[in-house]
Structure 1
Amino acid sequence: MMDDAPRLWTRRRMLGATGGLLTASAWMPPVLAAAPQVKLPDTYAKTERERPGPPNPQPEAERVGWAVVGLGHLSLDELLPAFGQMKRGKLVALVSGDRAKAQAVAKQYGVPDKALYDYKSFDQIKDNPEVQVVYIVLPNSMHAEFTVRAAQAGKHVFCEKPMANTSAECQQMIDACKKADRKLGIAYRLQYEPHHRAVIQMARNKELGTLKLFTANNGQNQGEPNQWRHKKSLAGGGALPDVGIYCLSAARYFSGEEPVEVQGFSHSTPGDPRFKEVEESFAFHLRFPSGFQAHCTSHYSTHETKDLRLMGTDGWASMDPGFSYSGLRLRVGMKSKSFPKADDTVERSFSQPSQFAREMDHFSRCVQENVVPHTPGEEGLADVRIIEALYRSAQEGKAVKLEAAKKLDAFRGPPPKEEG
C-alpha cells in the first residue's frame, strides 16, 4: 500500500479529511511535485529527425492506479503489456470471472491476490484506494453496467469502444459518471496515435486544401461462430460497431465535422453460421455540412484489410495499414514545391510506441490534472447514435438525416499533450 502523502486524493477522501467542508465545485486536485527529468545531449546532425529523448516516467508512487476488467485477447495481448511503456499509470488490480486465469495473470504482472475481483465482488473495489481508474474490456452489452458500478464505487472509468450497444446506455454511463463526479473516457486509441494525429493536424492546417472525400476499408475474417462478437445480445451488431466504427470515427475526427446524412447497406451470406444474428458486412456513406463525404466498408469475412485515404483539393494522405495496433504507414501526395511540374509523394514515419499506453497515459494525466479527456463519453455517444441511424437506413432502404453540430470537434475534449 502507498502512503497517503504521495497518493492522489479522490474527492471522497478529501471531503472526509476536511469534515465535508469543501463542496464539489471548490475541490481541486493536489498539485504534484515535478518528477525528476533526465536530459541527454543530442548526438545526431541537424539533418536527422528529432528524437524525443528519455521517457522520464513518473515515480511509481505518483502514478495513477488502474484496474483492468476482463482478461480476454485484447487485455492479455495488448493492454497489460502496455503498462510497461506507461509513464503515468500502473496496473494495480484485475477483474475476471475465471479465478485461476486471474491468479496466473496476477503473478505475471505482480498484482497481489487481494486485488483480484470477480464480477460479483466487483463492487468491493470501492474499498481499494490503490484503484483510481477502471478500464472496462468486456462484451459491449456489459459496458453500461460496469461503468455505472465503477462510478458508484468512486472510480474513474475508461471504456472500450463501441461505448455501448445503444445510445440510451451511453447516456446512462455519462449520467452515472457525472453524478459521481468521475471522469469517463472512451478508448479511441487512434485519436492518440502519432500518424493519425499528424493527419488531423494537416487537415486542420489546410495542408491538403479543402477536404472533399474520405474512403476507408476495415475488414477481417472472423472464425469461431460461437464467440461473443457473433451474438447480437452481447455485441449489439457485427462488422459495423466492431471494425466499421474505426472508419466512421476517422471520418469525424479527420474532418472535425459531424455528418448530417447517412446511408447504410448491410449483408450476410445465407447459411453462414457466423452471421445468424449479426451482419457479415456493412458499407456506408456519410455526408457532412461542408460537402465533405465519406465512403466506408467494414467486413467480417475478408482477409485482413485496413486502409484509408483522405483527399483534399491540394493533396491527399493515405495509410495502409491505417487501423492496426502497430506498423502504420502514412503517405502524403501533393504538388512538388521544388519541381512545379511534378507531384511529390512522401512517406512520413513516426515512432510507434504502444497505442494503448498512449491513450491510458492521456487519461491518467486527465485524472491527475482534473481535465476533460480528449475522447469523453460524449464522443462515444456520437458514434453510437450514428451507428443506430446507419442500421435504420439499411433497414428502411433510404438515407437518414441527422442534426447538424454547431462547431468542429463538437464532442471532443482538448487535444492530447505529447507523451514523448
Structure 2
Amino acid sequence: MSVRRTGPGMPARIPVAGTDPISLDSAPTDGSSGSGENGISRRLLMGLGAAGAGTLLMRPAFASPAAGPAEGEGVGFAVVGLGLLSQGQILPGFHSAKRAKLTALVSGHPDKATRLAAKYGVARDAIYTYENYDRIVDDPRIQVVYIVLPNAMHAEFTIRALKAGKHVLCEKPMATSVADAEAMIAAAKAADRKLMIAYRCHYEPLNLAAMRLIRSGKLGKPRMVVTQMGRQASLSDPADVWRLDMKMSGGGALADMGIYGINGARYLLNEEPVEVRAWAQTDRKDPRFREVEDLIAWQFRFPSGAIANGSTSFDYAPTMSYQVECAQGRLVADPGAFYNGNRLTVQTGYQSQVQAIHEIDQFAREMDWMADVVRGKAPLVSTGEEGLQDMRLMKAILDSVAQGGATVSTAFGYTRAIDPAKVVDVPA
C-alpha cells in the first residue's frame, strides 16, 4: 500500500515487510537529512543538567568502528525474497552500508532476480531459487542470509540457512507461532550461528534518543506508554493479500503493525510486562477481516507499575506513533517508527521542544550491525529470544481477545540480555 504524506522528510509509504511473490519495482528508496547528536538538542541538555547530558551522549561500550573495512572485506549477504521491502529499502541500503555487502539473491522469479542482480552487481551464479536454496552451503561469498519473506515462510528458510552454516538476519515478526520461533532459536544454537531479528528501531536515532532520555531519569519515573500503529489495508493491493491471511501472516495488523508498539513499549521502559488484557472490534462483513482481527487494543502491566496501552488496526489512518508520560515530563514520537521523517517532541513543565534527529539509512545501519556481530565487533542485541518474547506476547493478546478481555499472565521469565540504549551508537 502506498501512502503519500506531505511535508519535508516524510516517508512515501508506511513500512511493511516485503514478499518475493509480489513484484513492485517502483518502491521508493530511503532518504536522510537532519542534524544533531543522538537526537537530543543542546538546549534540552542544558535544561536537563550536565549529568543528564553525559548520560545521553556518552559513547556506548560497544560501538561500531568509525571506518569501514578495506575494499572486499565486507560481510556477504544473500537477500531471500525480492518484494516491496527488499526493492524499496534493503537492496538500496547496501549502497550506504559500510561493512555489509550484497553478494547473492534468492527468488522464486528468475527474471526479476536476474534484472536486480544486474542492477546491484550480483554475479549471475549467485542467483538462487527456493528449490536450490540449500546450495548456498557451498557459496563462500555468503556469510549472512537476510530473510524477507511472508511471515509463514520465515521459520523454514531461516532453519535451512542455519543448517547451511550461514548466519541469519530475519524480518519481524520472527514467525507465525511460538513453536516456530523456538525451533529457529534451537537451530541457531545447533549450528552455532547468529540469529538476529530485524528490529530496526533498536538502531534508529530517534528511538535511541528516547530510550536514553528515559533512562537518564530527567523526565521522572515512567508512568504510561501509549502506542498507535496501523494503516488502511486493501485486498486490491497484492502486498496486503497475505497479510490478511491468518495462516500466512500469523495475526493481520497485530503481526504487521502492532508488533512495533509491543516491542516499543518494552524497549522504552526496559522491562517486561507481567500481564495483559486485550479487546478486538472487527466487522466480519468486511471482506478484509474474514480471517484476521481488525482493531485490537491491549493494556500491559509492568513490574514497575507502569501501564502501556497499545492499539493496531488495518482500518484506520496511517500512524506509527507513541508517547511516554513520566512524572516530570513527556515524550511524543509522531511519527516514531517510519523509515525517515520521524519527529520527537519533549515536554518539561509547560514547555515543549521538537528535537533535532540525525537521520540515517536504517536498513544499512542494521545490516552493518549484523556484519559487526558476525565479525565479533558488536554484541547481538536483537536476539532470537527477543523475537520469541514478542511472539509470546502477541499470542497472549489474542488469547485475551478470545476470552473477552480476560487477564492473561505474561510473566514468561524473559529478561533482555542487552539494552540497546547502552551499546548502540549513532553513526556520524
What band does the TM-score fall into relative to the shorter chain? 0.7 to 0.9
How many Å separate the matches in 1 of 2:127 and 2:333?
40
Task: Return the letter of the residue paired with 1:308.
Answer: Y
Tell me the equivalent position of 1:11.
Answer: none
Q: Which residue of the partner structure matches residue 33 of structure 2? A: none
1:272 aligned onto 2:286: yes
Higher relative contact order at CA 8 Å, sep ≥6: structure 1 or structure 2? 2
Q: Secondary structure at the match of 1:150?
A: helix
User: Take 2:427 and 2:164, find their aligned partners in 1: how far apart are those partners?
Assistant: 29
Task: List per-residue Cα deviations over 1:331-355 (Å, max 9, x = no partner).
Answer: 00013xxxxxxx3311111221111
Check whether the contact 1:362–1:417 (CA below 8 A) recurs between aligned residues. Answer: no
Distance 1:418 1:116 in 2: 34
Residue 283 in structure 1 maps to residue 297 in structure 2: yes
Structure 2 length-normalised TM: 0.81
The reply to whether residue 378 of structure 1 matches residue 385 of structure 2 is: yes
> Who is 2:376 aligned against?
369
CA contact (8 A) 2:270 2:419 kept: no
Q: 1:38-89 deviations in whole A, cap 9, x for unaligned?
A: xxxxxxxxx9999x9x974322311100000000100000111111111110
2:25 counterpart residue number: none
Question: Hey, what does 1:356 align to over in structure 2?
Answer: 363
Q: After superposition, where does 1:209-224 map in structure 2 within 5 Å? A: 209-224=220-235
In the superposition, the TM-score normalised over structure 1's length comes to 0.83
User: Judging changes above 3 Å, is the alpha-carbon distance between structure 1 residues 167 and 415 closer, same or farther for their aligned structure 2 residues?
Assistant: farther
- Where does residue 343 of structure 2 map in the other structure? 329
Q: How does 1:151-190 map to 2 (within 5 A)?
A: 151-190=162-201
Q: Give the corresponding residue for 1:401.
A: 409
Matching residue's letter, 1:323: A
User: Which of 102, 107, 132 is the matching residue for 1:96?
Assistant: 107
Aligned amino acid, residue 295 of structure 1: N
Offset from partner CA, 1:145-185 (integer Å, 9 cap, x none)? 11110001010000000000111111100110111110000
Does the CA-based 8 Å contact 1:92-1:115 persist in structure 2? yes
State the one-letter code of the partner of 2:271.
E
CA spacing shift, 1:91–1:310, aligned 2, 3 Å: same
Query: For residue 419 of structure 1, what is the amino acid of its counterpart?
Result: P
Distance 1:152 1:404, change over 3 A: closer
TM superposition shift of 1:277: 1.0
SS at match of 1:62: coil
Displacement after TM superposition at 1:417 (Å): 3.8
Cα distance in structure 2, aligned partners of 1:410 and 1:131:
28
Are 1:297 and 2:311 matched, yes or no? yes
**Partner SS, residue 61 of structure 1:** coil
Residue matched to 2:424 = 416
Deviations 1:191-236 (Å, cap 9, x if unpaired)?
1100100111111111221000001111111112661111111111
Separation in structure 2 between the aligned mates of residue 351 and residue 410 of structure 1, nearest angstrom: 27
**How far 1:412 sits from its partner (Å)?**
5.7
Q: 2:130 aligns with which of 91, 116, 119?
A: 119
Partner of 1:80: 91
- AA in 1 matched with 2:88: D
CA distance in 2, matches of 1:108, 1:138: 21
**How far apart, in 1, do the equivalents of 2:140 and 2:392 lie?**
35
The amino acid across from 2:206 in the alignment is: H
Map 1:201-216; keep pairs closer than 5 Å: 201-216=212-227
Match of residue 144, structure 1, among 151, 155, 164: 155
| Structure 1 Cα separation of the partners of residues 179 and 155 of structure 2 | 10
> Counterpart of 2:102 in 1: which secondary structure?
strand
Runs of 4+ in 1 over 2 A off after TM superposition: 47-50, 54-60, 404-407, 409-420
Unaligned stretches of 5+ residues in structure 2: 1-41, 46-56, 60-64
Distance across 1 between alignment mates of 2:316 and 2:87: 25
Residue by residue, what CA displacement relative to the aligned partner does 1:227-273 show, whole Å, maximum 9, x if unpaired? 11111111111111110000010100000110001011122212211
Q: Distance in 2 between matches of 1:415 and 1:309?
A: 23
**Residue aligned with 2:423, SS:** coil
Code of the residue aligned with 1:274 in structure 2: it is R
CA contact (8 A) 1:289 1:404 kept: no
1:238 and 2:238 aligned: no
SS of residue matched to 1:351: coil
Partner Cα distance (2:129, 2:282) in 1: 36
CA distance in 1, matches of 2:190, 2:345: 45
Contact 1:237 1:279 in 2 (8 A): yes
Q: Which position in structure 2 is the counterpart of 1:132?
A: 143
Indicate how the Cα distance of structure 1 residues 412 and 142 shifts in structure 2: closer, same or farther if over 3 A, else same.
farther
Match of 2:21 in 1: none
Q: Classify 1:351/1:418 alpha carbon distance in 2 versus 1 (closer, same or farther; 3 Å).
A: closer
Find out whether 1:391 has 2:402 as its counterpart.
Answer: no
CA 1:406–1:181: 2 relative to 1, 3 Å: closer
